[in-house]
């Protein structure tokens, strides 16, 4: 999924304090009495009250990001749906915030759909993804009356058509197209082979076949196209290139079938700052490139401008979240490195082990002190690769300190596991000076609840 961000210079003590870490922290982060505060809550107090490890999410940042997307996409064209990608982070409270902000929701499994249903999310605002939706999941979607299903394969199309027709309904569908443009973090590559498990490739003619089939099949209402070119994308010209390709395909569809594509969904992927050297594009610039880009390309081809959708995940929640841990040991290997071990690890953040992701970290109870040493933040799991942050500049670390890893709001809790029968941390939502659990910490009983004796 995501690739690491900008190339990193060798880590040195950088003498930075929490004030300098503003680009990677929630927008309400500040230093109060030497402690890191988020949403008006002292994270050190929160850690003591809630216990560690704990994910902390800032409500103000989440809502701000959702509003930025709505503002800067509809600024250019009123018919743009902002579809939050629930895979980045999902809880009932999160789903409710997405609903309250007037956004739509992308679900990628029956489980994510179940969250949306339980939270009372409006079903017409649901977009369903997945390259292998099971028949049971498709049945759940039809029963729930979801707005759009993004069809990923011919088999799924036939299956969905039969199931919808049998129920006497017409299901609105988008087709996921692989445009042959793949975004690298800083650039794009045209991939001739379109080697992807997702969607219908343009270059081998599969996409046109899929469109013709979707138009012809009963039970399906062909609404338009979807694409998703990658994640943690910094280079907006990657989106522009993919838009050029897909709008040309829309023109071909019209020429060949006479059918106008009603909706174009360009997926998610906008990058965020994980490290201080990262310089992601703004939502404002993204909105212009994507929405104006589609309008201009449509104009060039003489097409009616379709409704649009964008599907941000990471850029809504990543910088809204941090993880707080307690330091349990500090091991200095002279001439080699210092390991700081925390009470969590790859079970609550797999991204470092999985794709060498980089994070900024700080000591929350020494937030206004300079980061004067470099250490590797290690987890407590039985794997040497259980690292949370490699070579992190940190304030002087003592056992018992509260260590904060920044920008962990996306793809950490949602990709967490119970490896080593570790209980998953809870999620504390902070806002205007108080905090509450939106996901409570697991218990040992939770770990055993599915076991059959």
Ligand X SMILES: Cc1ncc(COP(=O)(O)O)c(C=O)c1O
What is the H or E stretch that residue 74 is in?
helix 59-74
Q: Tell me the C-alpha distance between 239 and 297, whole Å.
A: 13
For the chain, the maximum distance between any two Cα atoms, rounded to a whole number of angstroms, is 72
Binding-residue pattern over the window 113 to 152 for ligand X, x denoting contact by CB under 6 A: ----------------x-----------------------
Q: How many amino acids of this chain bind ligand X (CB under 6 A)?
A: 17
* Interaction of residue 297 with ligand X, rule CB under 6 A: no
* Interaction of residue 314 with ligand X, rule CB under 6 A: yes
Which residue number, 62 or 367, has a Cβ lying nearer to ligand X?
Answer: 62
The secondary structure of residue 413, as a DSSP letter, is G
- Tell me which residue has tokens 């310089």: 279
Q: Considering the complex, what minimum distance in angstroms separates the CB of residue 314 from ligand X?
A: 4
> Is 382 an annotated catalytic residue?
yes
* Interaction of residue 88 with ligand X, rule CB under 6 A: yes
- Do you know the residue count of the chain? 453
HEC string for 1-36: CCCCCCCCCCCCCCCCCHHHHHHHCCCCCEEECCEE
Q: Tell me the C-alpha distance between 29 and 19, whole Å.
A: 9
SS3 179: coil
What is the H or E stretch that residue 206 is in?
helix 206-216
Interacting span for ligand X (CB under 6 A) from 242-250, 305-313, 366-374, 414-422: 305-313
Assign residue 132 a region (left: φ > 0; alpha: ψ between -120 and 50; beta: otherwise).
beta
Which residue number, 267 or 379, has a Cβ lying nearer to ligand X?
Answer: 267
Q: Considering the complex, what minimum distance in angstroms separates the CB of residue 406 from ligand X?
A: 17
Q: Considering the complex, what minimum distance in angstroms separates the CB of residue 329 from ligand X?
A: 34
Interacting span for ligand X (CB under 6 A) from 160-168, 235-243, 264-272, 434-442: 264-272
* Interaction of residue 269 with ligand X, rule CB under 6 A: yes
Instruction: Rule CB under 6 A: choose which of 26, 275, 306, 313 binds ligand X.
Output: 313
Q: Of 416, 418, 445, whose CA–CA distance to 55 is shortest? A: 416
Which residue number, 197 or 449, has a Cβ lying nearer to ligand X?
Answer: 197
* Interaction of residue 268 with ligand X, rule CB under 6 A: yes
Q: Tell me the C-alpha distance between 152 and 244, whole Å.
A: 21
Q: Considering the complex, what minimum distance in angstroms separates the CB of residue 299 from ligand X?
A: 26
Using CA of residue 353, residue 355, residue 356, residue 359, what is the dihedral sign? Answer: negative
* Interaction of residue 1 with ligand X, rule CB under 6 A: yes
Catalytic residue (choose from 104, 141, 382, 412): 382
Using CA of residue 202, residue 76, residue 186, residue 104, what is the dihedral sign? Answer: negative
SS3 312: coil
* Interaction of residue 315 with ligand X, rule CB under 6 A: yes
Q: Considering the complex, what minimum distance in angstroms separates the CB of residue 321 from ligand X?
A: 13
* Interaction of residue 393 with ligand X, rule CB under 6 A: no
Q: Which residues bind ligand X (CB under 6 A)?
A: 1, 85, 87-88, 106, 129, 228, 231, 267-270, 311-315
Catalytic residue annotation: 382
């Amino acid at each position: 999924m995501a690739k690491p961000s900008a190339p990193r210079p060798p880590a040195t003590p950088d003498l930075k304090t929490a004030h300098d870490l503003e680009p990677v922290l929630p927008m309400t982060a500040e230093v109060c009495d030497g402690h890191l505060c988020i949403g008006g809550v002292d994270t050190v107090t929160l850690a003591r009250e809630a216990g560690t490890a704990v994910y902390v999410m800032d409500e103000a940042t989440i809502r701000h990001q959702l509003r930025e997307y709505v503002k800067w996409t509809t600024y250019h064209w009123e018919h743009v749906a902002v579809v939050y990608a629930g895979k980045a982070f999902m809880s009932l409270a999160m789903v409710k915030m997405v609903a309250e902000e007037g956004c739509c929701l992308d679900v990628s499994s029956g489980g994510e759909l179940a969250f949306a249903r339980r939270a009372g999310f409006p079903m017409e605002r649901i977009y369903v993804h997945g390259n292998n939706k099971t028949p049971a999941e498709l049945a759940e979607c039809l029963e729930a009356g979801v707005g759009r299903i993004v069809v990923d394969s011919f088999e799924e199309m036939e299956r969905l058509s039969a199931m919808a027709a049998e129920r006497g309904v017409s299901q609105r569908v988008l087709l996921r197209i692989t445009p042959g443009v793949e975004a690298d973090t800083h650039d794009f590559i045209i991939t001739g082979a379109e080697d992807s498990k997702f969607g219908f490739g343009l270059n081998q003619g599969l996409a046109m076949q899929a469109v013709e089939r979707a138009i012809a099949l009963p039970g399906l209402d062909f609404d338009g196209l979807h694409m998703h070119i990658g994640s943690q994308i910094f280079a907006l010209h990657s989106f522009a290139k993919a838009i050029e390709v897909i709008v040309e395909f829309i023109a071909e569809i019209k020429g060949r079938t006479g059918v106008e594509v009603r909706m174009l969904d360009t997926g998610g992927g906008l990058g965020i700052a994980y490290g201080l050297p990262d310089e992601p594009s703004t939502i404002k610039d993204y909105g212009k490139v994507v929405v104006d880009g589609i309008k201009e390309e449509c104009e060039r081809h003489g097409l009616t401008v379709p409704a649009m959708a964008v599907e941000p995940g990471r850029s809504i929640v990543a910088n809204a979240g941090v993880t707080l841990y307690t330091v349990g040991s500090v091991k200095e290997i002279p001439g080699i490195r210092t390991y700081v071990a925390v009470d969590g690890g790859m079970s609550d953040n797999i991204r470092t082990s999985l794709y060498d992701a980089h994070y900024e970290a700080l000591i929350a109870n020494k937030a206004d002190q300079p980061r004067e040493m470099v250490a590797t933040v290690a987890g407590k799991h039985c794997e040497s690769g259980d690292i949370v942050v490699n070579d992190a500049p940190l304030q002087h670390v003592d056992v018992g300190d509260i260590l904060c890893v920044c920008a962990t709001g996306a793809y950490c809790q949602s990709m967490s596991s119970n490896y080593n029968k570790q209980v998953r941390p809870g999620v504390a939502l902070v806002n205007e000076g108080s905090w509450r659990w939106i996901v409570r910490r697991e218990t040992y009983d939770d770990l055993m609840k599915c076991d059959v004796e």
